[in-house]
Amino acid sequence: MIRATRVRKRAEFERIQKGGARVSTRTFVLIVSGRPDRGPARLGITASRKIGGAVTRNRAKRLVREAFRANPELFPPGIDLVVIVRKPPGSMKAAEVGAEWRGAQKQLARRIEEALRACETAGKTQDDPRIP
């Protein structure tokens, strides 16, 4: 089993949240940002105390992690994803979380493409012969 890497450092969360593209669903806000290294997609999760107690927040994070693992086709390599939990998941299952994300797949794919393109152009320099 391939273990997904995670976004862990505050500076990484801030970079993604500041420069990333947002997609909102009923329960979550998904923020995607490109990375120049094209490594596997990484996930970071934010669940504030207004969602509920520790049990509720931890359950929400487990659901998000499982939905991220179960839907690798939504997140290509080179993407950092931060998921903000907006509402308590209640009795949602991981499959329902994945279905909610797939419902926003068209918008999500467009935002991911924009993020990857922005990352590519930011990495080029004026000395780069590929720049027209």
What are the tens digits of pLDDT across the range 16-45? Answer: 999 999 999 999 999 999 988 888 999 999
The whole model's pTM is what?
0.87
Q: What is the pLDDT of residues 66-92, one digit of tens each?
A: 999 999 999 999 999 999 999 999 999
Complete domains list, the chain, with CATH:
10-115 (3.30.230.10)
Residues present in the chain in total:
132
Written as six digits, the tokens of 125 are: 């320099």
Bigger pLDDT: 127 or 116?
116
Please tell me what DSSP assigns to residue 39: -
Report the alpha-carbon distance of residue 48 to residue 5 in Å, rounded: 22
Written as six digits, the tokens of 82 are: 């931060």
Residue in the block written with tokens 């659901």? 63
Report the alpha-carbon distance of residue 29 to residue 22 in Å, rounded: 7
